[in-house]
Structure 1
Amino acid sequence: MHSLPVFLRLAGRPVILTGDGEAAEAKRRLLERAGARIVDENDQGARIAIVSDGDEATAERLRVRGILVNATDNPDLCDFTLPAIVDRDPVLIAIGTGGASAGLAKALRQRLEALLPARIGALAQALFNARPAIRARWPDAGERRRAIDAGLSPGGAIDPLNERAAAGLAGWLCGPDVAQTSRLEVVHLSSNDPEDLTLRAARLLGEADRIYHHADVPDTILHRARADAVHILVTCPPEALEPGLSLLLVLRN
């Protein structure tokens, strides 16, 4: 991973913007949408800057001051890049290529724009508003996560690709409990290259609560798992399983 994606809260905060023309105006509109206070490079309170014309001297001058800089079309001078954005407030999807191709990021954004329902933001807000009720219904964190995963799964009561998902939230909260099953799936890896993962293996990695793996399974594969999944080094399958989905990753020789 070449960069750490983050979402910055810029409302009311100073952000330096330099340069003129269409590129500068596009960046200005983006910053204004985020609520930033746009200032010139003399502002001593700013910690972020966008050099819209990619000017090397300006970028270096700002970086010497400890300011994080984005220099348009000059990736070597960028401390951060600006992604293509799918905006379904409060849902934001950022697509970045590390400055490799803005065109590719734009094409992916357009595909996602067509895929995601306009009301997916309403679902996110409804889930936020329902947090106390969700915690009361499923007090155990693991049980709660599995219930939410089941509800948001394809065809689930609150499937995010269903335009009416937000309206189905109340029914989901009052619906039957998710069965607390223990399940072990064995995934035989054909190589140590994550690009060779099957669609099934990639899906299971994204869903599993625990990842049992042999020592020869590389980090590049393990990094495809959920960030909060537990990784357990083993030499043989586990004898007992905890509730939820467990994976055993085995690299074929």
Structure 2
Amino acid sequence: MIETLPLFHRIAGRPVVVLGEGEAAEAKQRLVERAGGMVVADLETGIRAGARLAFVAHEDAALAEACVERARSAGLLVNATDRPALCDFTVPSILDRSPVLVAVGTGGASAGLAKQLRLRLEAILPQSLGALAAALAAARDRLRQRFPEAGDRRRALDAALARGGALDPLDEGAAARVEAWLENGERGEAGVVKIALRSDDPDDLTLREARLLGGADIVLHDPRVASTVLDRARADAVRISGSEMPTGTAPGQLIVVLAAPA
């Protein structure tokens, strides 16, 4: 079970408190400025300006704890460098393909591990990923016209963005095909699919099973199905367990509905 909720927080044009000195504080200042935030180096000034985030990079432990306590009492969320026990939030290693951002975090366990994972992803994800995202954003109104139903839109996009699909994100030419796809794109797979689980390990799902589960509108499941498997479904998918399973459903089986019944 995850212990933190990953979020993307807009700070452009807003004050953010950064306290401390040396390389750690300078790194946090660059991070805030890169996202368009306004660095405030004094806590009381930041509080009066309406800051909601604070970075504390003091080397002295007592001073760091005092600043964290004061910031929290004023309602700020705090990140304290190298002091995970004092952190309300942690800073991930960021892969930038604007407007696509991929954030890799370890909950403060190891910044080095997060960095190395991000570097691996840098070699995989093409620079064209940002252009694809921008093209899809520009086509949002046309996409709604082409697929008026939200479920149809999601399934069409899932099919197009899947590996080998018309808009495969790892294909550098995908952005240039958005217009053609809008003219000819299909709705994608729909219907009801049964998945017979082989174990409680989600890695034992086939690629197709993982894709179907990840795109499901409704997931009916035996109560004995492991939460690690169910977590592969969308968080907003409807989940139905236990007595509401259809008669004859095998133990440990999932039923994935890819379109809400009429």
Between the aligned partners of 2:256 and 2:222, the Cα distance in structure 1 is 19
Q: CA deviation at 1:59?
A: 1.8
Is 1:236 the equivalent of 2:229?
Answer: no
Does the aligned pair in 1 maintain the 2:195–2:256 contact within 8 Å?
A: no
Q: Counterpart of 2:252?
A: none
Is 1:88 the equivalent of 2:88?
Answer: no
Does the aligned pair in 1 maintain the 2:194–2:256 contact within 8 Å?
A: no
Is 1:214 the equivalent of 2:222?
Answer: yes
Between the aligned partners of 2:122 and 2:12, the Cα distance in structure 1 is 25
Q: CA deviation at 1:143?
A: 1.1
TM-score w.r.t. the length of structure 2 is 0.84
Q: Counterpart of 1:42?
A: 44
Q: CA deviation at 1:121?
A: 0.6
Q: CA deviation at 1:180?
A: 5.9
Q: Counterpart of 1:66?
A: 75
Secondary structure, counterpart of 1:42 in structure 2: helix
Range with bigger deviation, 103-112 or 58-67: 58-67
User: Unaligned stretches of 5+ in structure 1?
Assistant: 247-253
Between the aligned partners of 1:28 and 1:12, the Cα distance in structure 2 is 14
Q: What is the letter of the counterpart of residue 139 of structure 1?
A: P
Q: CA deviation at 1:238?
A: 8.7
Between the aligned partners of 2:21 and 2:142, the Cα distance in structure 1 is 50
Percent identical across equivalent pairs?
53
Is 1:227 the equivalent of 2:235?
Answer: yes
CA distance 1:174–1:71, change in 2 (3 Å): same
When the two structures are aligned, how many residues end up with a matched partner?
243
Between the aligned partners of 1:92 and 1:141, the Cα distance in structure 2 is 24
1:63-106 deviations in whole A, cap 9, x for unaligned? 22222110000000001101100111100111111100101100
User: Unaligned stretches of 5+ in structure 2?
Assistant: 250-254
Between the aligned partners of 1:147 and 1:238, the Cα distance in structure 2 is 32
Q: CA deviation at 1:142?
A: 1.1
What's the RMSD between the two structures over aligned residues? 2.4
Q: Counterpart of 2:58?
A: 53
Q: Counterpart of 1:198?
A: 205
Does the aligned pair in 1 maintain the 2:217–2:238 contact within 8 Å?
A: yes
Q: Counterpart of 1:12?
A: 13
Whose helix fraction is larger, Structure 1's or Structure 2's? Answer: 2
Does the aligned pair in 1 maintain the 2:219–2:257 contact within 8 Å?
A: no
